[in-house]
Amino acid sequence: MNVLTYLQVIVTIIIIIIIIIIIIIIIIIIIIIIISIVNLSWYWKVTLLILPKIVIYDKYHVC
């Protein structure tokens, strides 16, 4: 009985550790996704700001 409860405690601790690790991994993945989305939107804003100027410049340059 003593050995069983000892094993149970160990298993419980291992499960808790695994759950904590999984939660940390999920949080890290979410943070990475948010950062990449923010970076992408920033990149698109810059592209949308710069592209029309390049196109306009090209039109005037060709003329």
- Three-class SS state of 50: helix
Report residue 55's pLDDT band, with 50, 70 and 90 as the boundaries: low
Report residue 62's pLDDT band, with 50, 70 and 90 as the boundaries: low
- Three-class SS state of 1: coil
* pLDDT tens readout for residues 29-42: 999 988 888 777 77
- Three-class SS state of 63: coil
Range of the domain at 34: 1-62
* pLDDT tens readout for residues 8-28: 999 999 999 999 999 999 999
pLDDT of residue 37: 80
Tell me the CA end-to-end span of the chain in Å, nearest whole number.
Answer: 92
Give the CA radius of gyration of the chain. 27
Instruction: Count H helices and E strands in the chain, helices first.
Output: 1, 0
Number of domains within the chain: 1
Residue in this structure with the two tokens 């390049």, named with its chain if needed = 54
